[in-house]
Amino acid sequence: MDALDRERFEVIPLFIRKDGRWEPKPILPEPGANDGIDVVIPVLHGTFGEDGTIQGLFEMAALPYVGAGVFASAASMDKWHMKRLFQDRSLPIVECKVLEFARPLGHWDQFPAFVKPANLGSSVGISKVRNLDELDHALALASKYDHRVLIERAIVGMELECSVLGNDKPQASTPCEVVPSREFYDYEDKYLLDAAKFYLPARIPPEKTEEVKRLAVAAFQAVDCSGLARVDFLLESATGKLYINEINTFPGFTSISMYPKMWAHDGIPFAQLVERLIELALERHRLRQSLRYEL
């Protein structure tokens, strides 16, 4: 909100409580778009905010909104479906297995490993396990957040992030490197400790930088994303192989968030970036409004 030019934009903040109440109450919709609202910036993380739920509400109200649509949001939030879409495009992903609805895991002997709820964000419910004894506890924790749990081989190496911006012609930023202060980049390291280190640009060779950028755009397109996304990578030390870890369809815009910092490094300052996102939202909305939904 602070970044927007108040001579060009009137900002109307709406807050949604955990019990579902809106504060202040939103303007009641006319048939079609909400009167007085030109575009929505859904700075809502996690469940209901990034998983296609709020995006569906905006679609029903014919409101332009920043970021990915319903399908891209839902598919990217669900790590299992996200990986299947990447796999369909032959994009590199880490070996993994999904445990559905408390079915037996079966054979798993690749340790260390990460155990994750399939459908959540911000590293909530994620554990790193080193043996079978730790696995049961990690599965029990992850299953508190989703009925499907993902287990994947842990990659020893470098964590990288790359910002993507655009609609039908997305562009990738210079990637950055994340050095966690803990064993992995968990919730506390992301939001509470302020101890992780970042290197922008990432300390990788030029050819690897170009590979990260190419794969970031490919991941963005694989899930049919629009507007913005941050694609996270793992660079394995032993093999030099690059893996796509996940795509985040509405990355953070806080003081420590790297998405705007990567674009600022490439010559797009914060205020200009927000305005560009609004332009992309309106562009996508005009395209969707040209479609027919009845004979």
196 occurs within a structural domain: yes
Q: What is the pLDDT of residues 140-159, one digit of tens each?
A: 899 888 889 999 999 999 99
256 occurs within a structural domain: yes
Residue (of 16, 64, 21, 19) closest to 40 by Cα position: 64
41 occurs within a structural domain: no
**Residues 262 and 166 occupy one common structural domain:** yes
Residue (of 220, 226, 223) closest to 58 by Cα position: 226
**Residues 245 and 267 occupy one common structural domain:** yes
Q: Is the pLDDT of residue 183 over 90?
A: no
**Residues 197 and 244 occupy one common structural domain:** yes
Query: Which of 111, 129, 153 is at the close of a domain?
Result: 153
Q: For the chain, how big is the Rg over CA atoms in Å?
A: 20
Contact 180, 199 (CB under 8 A): no
Q: CA separation (Å) from 107 to 10, 67, 96, 274?
A: 57, 39, 12, 47
**Residues 270 and 163 occupy one common structural domain:** yes
Query: Token match 């200009």: residue?
Result: 272
Domain count, the chain: 2
Q: What is the pLDDT of residues 264-295, one digit of tens each?
A: 999 999 999 999 999 999 999 999 989 888 88
Contacts of 52 (CB under 8 A, 6+ apart): 69, 70, 71, 73, 74, 77
Token couple for 228: 């913005």
Tell me the average pLDDT across 224-237: 98
Which is more confident, 154 or 46? 154
214 occurs within a structural domain: yes
Q: Which of 17-26, 45-54, 55-64, 130-139 has the lowest mean pLDDT?
A: 17-26
**Residues 176 and 193 occupy one common structural domain:** yes
CA distance 178 to 184: 10
76 occurs within a structural domain: no
Question: Which burial class, exposed, middle or buried, applies to 171 when counting CB atoms under 10 A from its CB (0-12, 13-18, 19+)?
Answer: middle
Domain that holds residue 242: 155-274
**Residues 248 and 170 occupy one common structural domain:** yes
**Residues 263 and 202 occupy one common structural domain:** yes
**C-alpha dihedral sign at 218, 222, 227, 228:** negative
pTM of the model: 0.92
12 occurs within a structural domain: no
What does DSSP assign to residue 182? S
30 occurs within a structural domain: no
**Residues 106 and 216 occupy one common structural domain:** no
**Residues 105 and 184 occupy one common structural domain:** no
**Residues 145 and 211 occupy one common structural domain:** no
Within 10 angstroms of residue 19's Cβ, the number of other Cβ atoms is 5
pLDDT of 81 reads 94
